[in-house]
Amino acid sequence: MIVCANPKAQYKSYKSEIDEAISKVLEGDKYILGDEVEAFETEFADFNRSKYCIGVGNGTDAIEISLRALDIGPGDEVITVSHTAVATISAIERVGASPVLVDIDYNYFSLDTNYLEGSLTSKTKAIVLVHLYGQAGDIVHVEEFCKKNDLYLIEDVAQ
For 34-61, the DSSP string reads -HHHHHHHHHHHHHTT-S-----S-HHH
pLDDT tier for residue 125 given thresholds of 50, 70 and 90: very high
pLDDT of amino acid 17: 94
Classify 59-156 by CATH class. alpha beta
Give yes or no for a contact between 41 and 82, defined as CB atoms under 8 angstroms apart.
Answer: no
Are 117 and 126 in contact, with CB atoms under 8 Å apart?
A: no
Among 102-106, 143-147, 155-159, whose mean pLDDT is lowest? Answer: 155-159
Question: Residue 26 is which amino acid?
Answer: L
**Residue type at 11 in one-letter notation:** Y
Give this prediction's pTM: 0.80
- Residue ranges covered by each domain of the chain: 8-47, 59-156
Picking from 76, 79, 82, the residue whose alpha carbon sits closest to that of residue 95 is 76
> What is the DSSP secondary-structure string of 90-116?
HHHHHTT-EEEEEPEETTTTEE-GGGH
Q: 1: pLDDT confidence band, cut at 50, 70 and 90? A: low
pLDDT in tens, 99-115: 999 999 888 788 999 99
